Amino acid sequence: MSPEDAVVGDKKESKFHFSKLKRRQDMEKKRKIRKIEWMRQMYYGGHLEAKSTNQETLGLIHTATKGLIQSIEDGGIDSVMEWEVDEVLNWTNTLNFDE
């Protein structure tokens, strides 16, 4: 069992690195992974939709989202920058509650 997976009580135990920079980088990477996993679940579930009503804009946003998901699947988490994920989420953060 890796230290990252060990659970102590209600809290998840993780590795502690003495470098503040390394801890910050680890937290940013975890945050990025959580965003990407959430976006992937929403995309494949069909719940990730754009705010705009313009058809051309919707097409561009859909293409960008599809390309981002494809890049992640082909190259892994490190193949995209966090700002790219944030940008797509800013355009597609409206949920479809009609279904």
Write the pLDDT tens digit of every residue in 27-60: 888 988 888 888 888 888 877 777 667 788 778 8
48: in domain: yes
86: in domain: yes
11: in domain: no
8: in domain: no
Per the model's pLDDT, the better-predicted residue between 67 and 11 turns out to be 67
5: in domain: no
15: in domain: no
Number of domains in the chain: 1
60: in domain: yes
- Return the SS3 of 94: strand
**Domain range for 30:** 20-95
Collect contacts of 40-45 with beta carbons under 8 A, ≥24 apart. 40/69, 40/72, 42/95, 43/69
Please give the structure tokens belonging to residue 82: 């966090």
pLDDT band with cut points at 50, 70 and 90 for residue 13: low
Query: Is the pLDDT score of 97 beyond 80?
Result: no
d(CA 47, CA 44) in angstroms, rounded, equals: 8
37: in domain: yes
DSSP 10: T
Q: Pairing relation of β-strands 48-49 and 11-12? A: unpaired
Look at residue 52 in the predicted model and tell me its pLDDT.
67
Q: What is the mean pLDDT of residues 13-24?
A: 83
